């Protein structure tokens, strides 16, 4: 079965621009969570969506937002890009619900802000 698909794999943007990243979960998974990984801060939780609703949010500024569609695909948007937003952005999908199911990660989108 297909895994978690993230697009694009690589992206270069200019400071001040905005960017949208996409994550297609495993079929049947209703939870999608997003993470930022940088050399300095490591992995950090951004937010989690379940059935089109944001259930949890990490400690990131409002420039970071997301949404989930009825087919469980999720997008993450970063507005007014800063150099420090350069990172690997990972998403993970899970069955979701109230039970803690295992997570499957995508390969990530590597964003470079210049």
Partner 1 sequence: KNEVEQSPQNLTAQEGEFITINCSYSVGISALHWLQQHPGGGIVSLFMLSSGKKKHGRLIATINIQEKHSSLHITASHPRDSAVYICAVSNTGNQFYFGTGTSLTVIP
Binding site for partner 1 (CB under 8 A): 31, 33, 35, 37, 42-45, 48, 50, 55-56, 58, 88, 90, 92, 100-105, 107-108, 110
Buried b (16+ CB within 10 A) or exposed e, 74-97: bbbebeebeeebbbebbbbbbbbe
Residue nearer to partner 1 on the CB measure, 69 or 101: 101
Q: Please, what is the minimum distance in Å from the beta carbon of residue 54 to partner 1?
A: 11
Of 16 and 97, which has the nearer Cβ to partner 1? 97
Taking the complex as a whole, the smallest distance from the CB of residue 56 to partner 1 amounts, in Å, to 5
Look at residues 34, 23, 2, 25 and name the one whose alpha carbon lies nearest to residue 94. Answer: 25
Cα of 24 vs its chain's centroid, Å: 10
Pairwise CA distance, residues 33 & 93, whole Å: 6
**Taking the complex as a whole, how short is the minimal distance between the CB of residue 94 and partner 1, in angstroms?**
8
Q: How far is the CB of 46 from partner 1 (least distance, A)?
A: 10
């Amino acid at each position: 079965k297909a895994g978690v698909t993230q697009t694009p794999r690589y992206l270069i943007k200019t400071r001040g621009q905005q960017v949208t990243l996409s994550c297609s979960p495993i079929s049947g998974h209703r939870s999608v969570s997003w993470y930022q990984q940088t050399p300095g801060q490591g992995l950090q939780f951004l937010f989690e969506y379940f059935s089109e609703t944001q259930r949890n949010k990490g400690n990131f500024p409002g420039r970071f937002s997301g949404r989930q569609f009825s087919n469980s695909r999720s997008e993450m948007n970063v507005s007014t890009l800063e150099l420090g937003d350069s990172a690997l952005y990972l998403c993970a999908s899970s069955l979701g619900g109230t039970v803690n199911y295992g997570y499957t990660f995508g390969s990530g989108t590597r964003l470079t802000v210049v």
